[in-house]
Amino acid sequence: MLVLGTFDEYGNATVSIRVAGDSGSKNYPAIIDTGFSGFVALPLVEMIELGLSTQGAANVTLGDGSIISNLVSTGTVTLGTQVESGTILLDETSTDVLVGMAFLREFKMALILTNNAVVLYDEHETLDAVARFMGTSPPGQPNTTPSAN
């Protein structure tokens, strides 16, 4: 599976996801946050429309080292045609929807970013491509000797 993302107006890599709870579902542009170890983070206000029920709270360490407490829920997330369930952080301090490293692992996706492309694709396809490349590479260290050209 290949999923193309985009960059938002702030330069964040984003991908389109659909989040479902007990009473509804909704599409979101989600920021791919590789510094977020979790599955999905949603603004707390989205919980009512989706019918997400809280299942306690979790302490979250932010990038600046501060620790906050967020409510947590379980929800279903769709990426392309694939559907997975996971823990959703409900953040009352943010309006951003985030997907993190647990999201990439759960969906078994590899992430490729260039200056103008955001691509998620099946990690098995990635591993196969790397294995093919490695099979054609000479053994040992790369040749760093400058060419005579």
Are 118 and 5 spatial neighbours (Cβ–Cβ below 8 Å)? yes
Q: 127 pLDDT exceeds 60?
A: yes
Report the distance separating Cα 3 and Cα 1, nearest Å.
7
State both tokens at 45.
Answer: 């206000």
For range 8-24, the mean pLDDT: 95
C-beta atoms surrounding 36 within 10 Å: 20
Q: 65 pLDDT exceeds 90?
A: no
**How much of the chain, in percent, has pLDDT values that exceed 70?**
84
State both tokens at 72.
Answer: 């947590």
Report the distance separating Cα 78 and Cα 85, nearest Å.
9
For the chain, list the domains and their CATH numbers: 2-136 (2.40.70.10)
C-beta atoms surrounding 105 within 10 Å: 13
Q: Which residue has the tokens 């360490």?
A: 61
Query: How many whole angstroms from its chain centre is CA 128?
Result: 21
Q: 139 pLDDT exceeds 60?
A: no
